[in-house]
Amino acid sequence: MKIGVITFSNSKDNYGQMLQIYAMQCFLKKMGHECFLIRYTDSPKATASFKWNKVMTYLCKFPQYVMWYIQQKKESHQQRVYATSAQSSNTLRRFDDFLMDNIEMTHLIYDEESIMDNPPQADAYICGSDQIWCGDWAYYLNFAPENSIKIAYAPSMGGITDFPPEYETQMKQLIHRLDFVGMREKSGVEVCKRLGRSDTVKVVDPTLLLDTADYDKIRIPTTAKKPYIFLYLLGNPIGYKTKYFYDYAASKGLEVVYVASQGKVDDYKKFPAQVGEWIELLANAEMVITNSFHCTVFSLIYHRRVVTVPLTGGYERMNTRIYELLKNAKLEQLVLKEDLDQYQLSDWNFRDFDMYKNTELKRSTGYFNDILATKSI
């Protein structure tokens, strides 16, 4: 079956975005389907409108977000600083090359008008994963023909549960067109059920549907000096300075290989890894420290000792997906709560994670088999 997948795909430094695209396509191909990425550019107007809704939600419903404005000012400055140095680093990351070499995709990059006027042809369409349900209607498959199979697999709302009435009305209409709705977070499941999709289920991120053998195919060797801590930080605020992680590494006699993305700014030297190098560095690390969901996922897949640093400063809602993952893997203790000295450099127990991952792979495979086999074009 020919399947078109729409998700975020334009980042130049978000490794999780690239890897969830690769995972979804590789998983579907292993099932025997022909799969391609639908390249799409978001509407600035829709994105800006939704961001404003987020602001109002924070300020009105959560007292702790009264500091949101101050944090945004800090982040705006951080982004300006980051932009001046990011261009050359992002060129070295070669994300466009990764897509060209590993992903089947449309030649045309669609926008909200062209995708409605002349949608890509497929038997089935999938929206997901990533935090795509927070803007353009194309991510709800509004362009997909009525007689096509329409699947939402692991889209996220980023923890948002309240929307403007007009947005929610349109969302309700579109999710009722879908043949299957599987959300990445429990909060997303609850929103969909509130909107009338009582059959909504929770599914795992597509990166959890592959094994190390699948990711080893895209690994790129590096010359990193061992042993080292792999430090991967996004620009979202955390309760620790980067120096803290370097001091911890020094106390353990370990080097630090530091990769950063999405606006992370500090005075430490960073390595602009390609996607395959990012996996290689993680897979060979003595320990991984990160505030990233996908870095946590890959650390577990590769059985690396990982400590996850929770987000702060109004971004706590985004910790939900990590907490849910670690709870299901019975590894809740890997969330950093006080200091790193509580973690001994001994083996983590990944048995429960492996069992959870295998169970979810069977469950997701079953969902796809059922909907693709029983729905006629």
The mean pLDDT of the chain is 89
C-alpha angle 118/152/300, rounded to 5°? 125
Per-residue pLDDT, 85: 54
The set of residues, in sequence order, having a beta carbon less than 8 Å from that of 153 and lying 6+ positions away, is 24, 126, 127, 128, 129, 180, 182, 203, 206, 364
Q: At what angle do helices 44-61 and 68-93 cross, to 10 degrees?
A: 140
Domain hosting 303: range is: 218-354
Please give the Cα distance from 326 to 334 (Å, whole number): 8
pLDDT tens for residues 256-310? Answer: 999 999 888 899 999 999 999 999 999 999 999 999 999 999 999 999 999 999 9
pLDDT tens for residues 83-92? Answer: 455 566 889 9
CATH of the domain at 35: 3.40.50.2000
Residue 183 predicted with pLDDT over 50: yes
Per-residue pLDDT, 82: 46
User: Does 75 reside within a domain?
Assistant: no
User: Does 72 reside within a domain?
Assistant: no
| 51 and 145 inside one domain | yes
| 273 and 294 inside one domain | yes
User: Does 83 reside within a domain?
Assistant: no
Q: Which residues sit opposite 255 in a β-bridge?
A: 228
Find the length of the chain.
Answer: 377
| 295 and 363 inside one domain | no
Per-residue pLDDT, 48: 42
Q: Which amino acid is at 12?
A: K
- Is the separation of the CB atoms in 40 and 109 below 8 Å? yes
| 303 and 258 inside one domain | yes
Per-residue pLDDT, 65: 47
| 117 and 239 inside one domain | no
User: Does 106 reside within a domain?
Assistant: yes
| 320 and 368 inside one domain | no
| 144 and 231 inside one domain | no
User: Does 21 reside within a domain?
Assistant: yes
Cα Rg for the chain, rounded, in angstroms?
A: 20
| 106 and 167 inside one domain | yes
What is the arithmetic mean of pLDDT over 351-361? 97
Residue 108 predicted with pLDDT over 50: yes
The set of residues, in sequence order, having a beta carbon less than 8 Å from that of 130 and lying 6+ positions away, is 7, 8, 16, 17, 20, 155, 156
Residue 326 predicted with pLDDT over 90: yes
| 363 and 267 inside one domain | no
User: Does 34 reside within a domain?
Assistant: yes
Residue 334 predicted with pLDDT over 70: yes
What is the arithmetic mean of pLDDT over 178-186? 96
| 235 and 177 inside one domain | no
Per-residue pLDDT, 90: 87
Strand, coil or helix: 258 = strand
| 325 and 226 inside one domain | yes
- Is the separation of the CB atoms in 279 and 288 below 8 Å? no
In the chain, which ranges are E strands? 2-6, 34-38, 124-127, 149-153, 180-183, 201-202, 228-234, 255-261, 287-290, 306-308
pLDDT tens for residues 73-86? Answer: 554 545 544 445 55
Per-residue pLDDT, 158: 83
Residue 204 predicted with pLDDT over 50: yes
CATH of the domain at 228: 3.40.50
User: Does 157 reside within a domain?
Assistant: yes
| 187 and 280 inside one domain | no
Per-residue pLDDT, 374: 67
Please give the Cα distance from 228 to 78 (Å, whole number): 27
What is the arithmetic mean of pLDDT over 312-341? 91
User: Does 70 reside within a domain?
Assistant: no
Please tell me the total count of domains within the chain: 2
